[in-house]
Chain A
């Protein structure tokens, strides 16, 4: 039976031939990334549906976001949208073989991503300091026990759970996206930068902050990236930039649903 599967002219295997066209008209790496993004969409879809389920089923769903939070989230959205523009310009520069522009636009994309993370971390820290927290978060010293957010955490714990779950998952994706772009743009030179970022994030945050422990994501990323670059060193070409761009745009895409659902729909305008 196995012999029957062989072509009649076995010598034809080694001869150059016209390759079969790709089923989806593009290269495998890109199709692989699309498949990953489709599965990741379902992860975020599940989290967004969980948030919406709580929003519908709980009549006293809190609306804790004041004007300052909305302004902050709007600037974060601006950062992500601008990073998508610089990313698409990096992909275009890579396709044209313009190495300098490719590097500049990739660094600009990373800068916007870092801006988004910093603002998001600031937002989280403010909310935690005011009492919105998960039971697993370390206790904040000298915290007001009667603040509005403490009551929210007690009366509707689903809000804090879905809010931190959803936005935390997104923040993790943005962080890993910045690492991914850093490796594509700077390759081995990015590893010491990543270790330095880990040290700064770890040592500069107080012990009760979730970011004090969350910073170790950067350490894990640095170790994994070191291993990958050591095992398979290569020059990343235009296709690699395009595939990284797909991931980055996806992160932007998800935020386009989180921003209105989580922030705009939970606005308290005084």
Chain B
């Protein structure tokens, strides 16, 4: 037996979604395909790796934002939900970057 308040919220969310047009989803899908095509095109260019990595990561972040915003409906959530989830995620992922200087140390100084 589910909580009545939960059922009421579910009904409200479904009601909101009934008013969403599906047209933006097709636009987002098309944009994602175009961005993927650009990535593949870049793969066939003999570009310097650092430059290529920067461009690819920028494109991936744009694609991720489109998927989270539109497909995962984050665009339609309340601000509290948006900022708490996304800020904590970005912070935790950024913290993992602390290991990268060590990778460069190995590259330039060798393993000692």
Name A's B-contacting residues (CB within 8 A).
Answer: 19-20, 22-31, 34, 38, 41-42, 45-46, 49, 52-54, 56-59, 70, 74, 77-78, 81-82, 84-85, 87-89, 91-92, 94-96, 237-239, 242, 245-246, 249-250, 252-253, 256-257, 259-261, 263-265, 267, 269
What is the total of A-B residue contacts with beta carbons within 8 Å?
Answer: 155
Contacts of B106 on A, CB cut-off 8 Å?
A: 57
Considering the complex, which residues of chain B in the window 22-44 have a beta carbon less than 8 Å from any beta carbon of chain A?
22, 25-26, 29, 32-33, 36, 39-40, 42-44
Distance of A267 Cα from B107 Cα, bound (Å): 21
Which listed residue (B46, B49, B71, B107) contacts A269, Cβ 8 A? B46
Majority secondary structure, A binding face: helix
**Are B60 and A256 in contact (CB-based, < 8 A)?**
yes
User: Can you give 13 contacting A-B residue pairs, CB < 8 Å?
Assistant: A19-B8, A22-B9, A25-B77, A27-B13, A52-B100, A78-B33, A84-B29, A87-B71, A92-B22, A95-B15, A96-B18, A249-B72, A265-B56
Majority secondary structure, B binding face: helix
Distance of A141 Cα from B59 Cα, bound (Å): 42
**Are A28 and B68 in contact (CB-based, < 8 A)?**
no
Given known pairs A70-B43, A81-B33, the reply for A256 and B10 (CB within 8 Å) is: no
Q: Which of chain B's residues has its CB closest to A56's CB? A: B103
Most buried by A among B36, B52, B59, B93: B36
Contacts of A22 on B, CB cut-off 8 Å?
A: 5, 9
Distance of A59 Cα from B67 Cα, bound (Å): 34
Contacts of A261 on B, CB cut-off 8 Å?
A: 56
Determine how close the nearest CB of chain B comes to the CB of A106; give it in whole angstroms. 15
Given known pairs A23-B80, A92-B20, A246-B72, the reply for A259 and B39 (CB within 8 Å) is: yes
**Are B56 and A260 in contact (CB-based, < 8 A)?**
yes
Distance of A144 Cα from B84 Cα, bound (Å): 53
Contacts of B26 on A, CB cut-off 8 Å?
A: 85
Given contacts A19-B5, A26-B81, A92-B20, 13 further A-B contacts (CB under 8 A): A24-B84, A41-B93, A53-B102, A57-B102, A57-B103, A58-B107, A84-B71, A95-B14, A238-B17, A253-B64, A261-B56, A264-B42, A267-B44
How extensive is the interface on chain B, given as a class? 35 or more
Determine how close the nearest CB of chain A comes to the CB of B34; give it in whole angstroms. 11
Would you give the 0/1 interface string for B63-74, flagging 1 where the beta carbon is closer than 8 Å to chain A?
110011011110
Distance of A101 Cα from B100 Cα, bound (Å): 47
Given known pairs A82-B29, A246-B72, the reply for A239 and B40 (CB within 8 Å) is: no
Which listed residue (A26, A253, A260, A269) contacts B67, Cβ 8 A? A253
Which listed residue (A23, A25, A81, A91) contacts B32, Cβ 8 A? A81
Q: Which of chain B's residues has its CB closest to A45's CB? A: B93
Contacts of B59 on A, CB cut-off 8 Å?
A: 260
Contacts of B88 on A, CB cut-off 8 Å?
A: 38
